[in-house]
Structure 1
Amino acid sequence: MTQVGVLALQGDVREHAAILEGLGIDVVKVRRAAELEAVDALVIPGGESSTIDKLLRAFDLREPLIARLEQGLPVLGSCAGMIMLARDLIDGIEGQQTLNAIPMTVRRNAFGRQVDSSEVELIWEPDGSRMHGTFIRAPWVESHDSDVEVLATATGPDGDRHPVAVRHGQAIATAFHPEISADTRVHEALLALI
């Protein structure tokens, strides 16, 4: 049976697990390298990216996770997870590290502070349909390499449109929180990569 891990160090672990279980997937809450080795895909949830970074190092998961990503482990990162998957980071805290899984530069908290959180109707580019996106202190993709596929964009407080969902190889990242809606398309896109 397919097992999908949810990185369970901090953040929206329960919400991602519920979506995946609703799709009939066996979910493993990943806190140790042995749990990481057992999964067929991984979700890095929203939360606080600098805390997730510190906890990855404290739990000795950073290097095993980078190795699995380099081996092609399908991964979905939402909000803080998008930040973690980036190659480069703007407005990170001093010493904050990313996993360098997607060749993109992400601006942390680009949509503003907690009070600036919003819900936006997006176009899900793979099929041209509408998708509801919830942005909570969300990042956006400032720039990306040409082989990164943009799945959705949104207008930022600067008035420009920015990528808020991308795919590169076996990695998908969203600036919004797909786990707090009834829409399962983002999680289904992850499962299709297995």
Structure 2
Amino acid sequence: MVKIGVLGLQGAVREHVISLEQSGAEAIIVKRPEQLEDLDGLVIPGGESTTMRRLIDKYGFMQPLKDFASVGKPMFGTCAGLILLSKNIVGYDEPHIGVMDITVERNAFGRQKESFEAELMITGVAEDFIGVFIRAPYVVEVGEDVEVLSKHNGRIVAARQGQFLGCAFHPELTDDYRFAHYFVNMVKESNKM
């Protein structure tokens, strides 16, 4: 059984744990950088990206997260997690973890009151996945190695680059575990290499 961490600093941590467990993985809430050493994969949940960055810095997670990525371990960022994984953020000079060759725009679908749900076609996952968008970012631009997995109204809302997976919505806030299952399979494949 693969062991997948959920970065436990902010966001829907418990919901991600449930979705990973329902998808056949052992899920661990990660509160300390040294916990990363025992993991096969990592989920970075939604929340507020600037707050999450402050907490990542405060608890000494930045270099361990970059090291985790550099050894080829899969990472899945949802909403704020997508922002943290991206190499470019519109209006910002520096990325956070910066491992996915994408450019994102924060709060691109509007503020909290403009939150919505939409049926999405996600390549390799589902034809009818309900995406929950809460102050969601979207991907403005992707590098040549990035596979676009889903769009909503012409905007990229899910993408994959090698061992990195990101989406603008919150798959953990539904009872549909197909996207979590997709990530668990990525981790299993990565373990075979």
With the length of structure 2 as denominator, give the TM-score of the two structures.
0.92
Q: What is the CA RMSD across the aligned residues, in angstroms?
A: 1.4
Q: Deviations over 1:59-89 (max 9, x none)?
A: 1110010011011111110000000010010
Q: Which has the higher helix share?
A: 2
Structure 2 match to 1:107 = 105
Corresponding residue number in structure 2 for 1:149: 147
- Is 1:13 paired with 2:6? no
Deviations along 1:11-41, one digit per CA (max 9) or x if unpaired, are: 1101101111222322111121211111110
Q: Which whole-Å deviations, capped at 9, do the CAs of 1:154-175 have from their partners, x for residues lacking one?
A: 12xxxxx111000000010000
Deviation at 1:96, TM superposition (A): 6.7
Aligned residue in 2 for 1:117: 115
Contact 1:44 1:78 in 2 (8 A): yes
Kindly indicate whether residue 152 of structure 2 is the aligned counterpart of residue 173 of structure 1: no
- The answer on whether the counterparts of 2:126 and 2:178 sit within 8 Å (CA) in structure 1 is no
Give me the whole-angstrom Cα distance separating, in 2, the residues matched to 1:146 and 1:188.
26
- List 4+ stretches of structure 1 deviating above 3 A: none
Aligned partner of residue 193 in structure 1, secondary structure: helix
Q: Tell me the amino acid that sits aligned with residue 89 of structure 1.
A: I
Per-residue deviation, residues 136-183 of structure 1 (Å, max 9, x unmatched) = 00000010112100110012xxxxx11100000001000000001111
Alignment deviations for residues 110-152 of structure 1 (CA, whole Å, 9 cap, x no partner): 0000000010111112266121101000000010112100110
Verify the 8 A CA contact 1:102 1:171 in the aligned structure 2.
yes
- Seen in structure 2, the aligned counterparts of structure 1 residues 127 and 64 have a Cα distance that, compared at 3 Å, is closer
Secondary structure of the 2:181 match is helix
Paired positions, count: 187
Question: Helix, strand or coil for the counterpart of 2:118?
Answer: strand
Equivalents in 2 of 1:79, 1:166: separation in Å?
A: 12
CA distance in 1, matches of 2:186, 2:11: 23
**Partner residue of 1:86?**
86
Counterpart in the other structure of 1:183: 176
Flag structure 2 segments of 5+ consecutive residues without an equivalent: 188-193
Query: Any gaps of 5 or more consecutive residues in structure 1?
Result: 156-160
Provide the identity percentage. Answer: 41
Separation in structure 2 between the aligned mates of residue 153 and residue 129 of structure 1, nearest angstrom? 12
In structure 1, how many angstroms separate the alpha carbons of the residues matched to 2:125 and 2:95?
34
TM-score by length of 1: 0.92
